[in-house]
Amino acid sequence: MDYYHEIKQKLINNEINRSVKEYSINRNDLNTYYNVGKMIIEAQGGETRAKYGEGLIKEYSRRLMQEVNKKYSYRTLSYMEKFYLFQKLQPVVAKSLSWSHYTVLLSLKDNNEIMYYINICEKEHISKRKLIERIKSKEYERLPSKKTNPFNNSQIDRIE
């Protein structure tokens, strides 16, 4: 028996299974958070009334943090709402981005900037930490020319 090759194959299979599992968990997280964002908008009476629903998010957050998990803060629920609105305008759930990537990206105000960094993350497979570094270095702002924003900023920016 060639133990090295057996060991190597076991480790390779484990890495593959881990990647598939992580991808599946991430997809499930993103789908869940998208749907939660959608339900928050609906609970607030729809997109046109959602900007008046801040109190509802605070109430849901308070209850969820007590009953489910402390990670469901007002900020987190607001990101879910913003994630839903962003995906609705620009359906681009990047395969290699995690929820932690999106929480960094959704804190940005310019949708073109968000799209720029999504593309960078996809092409270069950068970590959340590297993404933060690139945003802090104002890489996007140093670009020679920026394209016109194709989005209706009022729908996204009102959640800030």
* pLDDT tens track for 66-75: 888 778 889 9
CA 26/CA 97 separation, integer angstroms = 8
pLDDT band at 132 (very low <50, low <70, confident <90, very high): very high
pLDDT tens-digit map of 74-112: 999 899 998 998 887 766 556 678 888 999 999 998 888
Q: Is residue 157 a contact partner of residue 106, using CB atoms and an 8 Å limit?
A: no
pTM for this one?
0.69
87 CB burial (10 A radius; 0-12, 13-18, 19+) = middle
Q: Is residue 75 a contact partner of residue 102, using CB atoms and an 8 Å limit?
A: no
| Angle formed by the axes of helices 3-43 and 54-67, nearest 10° | 140
Reported in sequence order, the residue ranges of 70-145 that DSSP labels E, i.e. its strands, are none
Tokens at 44, concatenated: 């607030």
